[in-house]
Amino acid sequence: MSRVGKKPITVPAGVTLTLNGTELTVKGPKGTLVRNFHPDIKINITESEVIVERPSDNKLHRSLHGTTRALVSNMVVGVSEGFTRTLELVGVGYRGAKSANGVTLSLGFSHPVEVTPEQGIELELTNQTTLVVKGIDKERVGQVAAEIRSLRKPEPYKGKGIRYSDEVVRRKEGKKGK
């Protein structure tokens, strides 16, 4: 039995789940998320919790069981609390500024980089070197944060670049002089 899949998901107050065939709709105070799931996996919705069940112990069903439970759990948490990913801009002259349709980043290129968030994603600058990506869909928040980080990944010698706030950059020693 999947250790993740067999745990019930508690549904907080103000969150409603609707299952229409294989399409699950989760509505909450922060918004609505819709996702299709595999038809073999059964999602049982009660008043206060959701239980994900699989029909058999074959490899496909075992792999889908925990994954489906995690996805449903992330949808419930997303519409009730939301998700955030914090990025730090480390380096001389690396900074961000709020612009009309997103954020403008100065990353040492000959031009500023304009980042416009997709719908449902919010970019917030807490200071010039800290950028917070917010949203209700965990997958999209992580994807947008990864795309912003890929503009200037942290380099191992000085540690300059865009990094996650909880990321530890492995440092290297430079070339030794004679």
- Locate CATH 3.90.930.12 in the chain: 9-80, 83-164
- In angstroms, rounded to a whole number, what is the distance separating the alpha carbons of residues 2 and 45? 19
pLDDT at 143 exceeding the cut of 80: yes
Q: For position 3, what pLDDT does the model report?
A: 81
Q: For position 4, what pLDDT does the model report?
A: 83
What Å distances lie between residue 165 and 136, 140, 154, 162, 168, CA to CA? 20, 18, 12, 9, 8
Q: For position 2, what pLDDT does the model report?
A: 62
Phi-psi region of 5 (alpha: psi -120 to 50; beta: other; left: phi over 0): alpha
- In angstroms, rounded to a whole number, what is the distance separating the alpha carbons of residues 20 and 39? 11
pLDDT at 47 exceeding the cut of 90: no
- Asked if 113 and 150 touch (Cβ cutoff 8 Å), the reply is no
Q: For position 1, what pLDDT does the model report?
A: 56
What Å distances lie between residue 39 and 8, 16, 43, 156, 157, CA to CA? 19, 21, 10, 46, 50
Q: For position 153, what pLDDT does the model report?
A: 94
Phi-psi region of 64 (alpha: psi -120 to 50; beta: other; left: phi over 0): alpha
Q: What pTM was estimated for this model as a whole?
A: 0.90
pLDDT at 46 exceeding the cut of 90: no
- Asked if 159 and 171 touch (Cβ cutoff 8 Å), the reply is yes
3-state class (DSSP) for residue 178: coil
Q: Is residue 150 packed enough to be buried (19+ CB in 10 Å), middle (13-18) or exposed (0-12)?
A: exposed
- Looking at every residue in the chain, the average pLDDT score rounds to 92
CB neighbours of residue 47 within 10 Å: 5
Banded model confidence at residue 176, pLDDT cuts 50, 70, 90: confident
CATH code assigned to 83-164: 3.90.930.12
pLDDT at 73 exceeding the cut of 90: yes
pLDDT tens for residues 91-121? Answer: 999 999 999 889 999 999 999 999 999 899 9
CATH code assigned to 9-80: 3.90.930.12
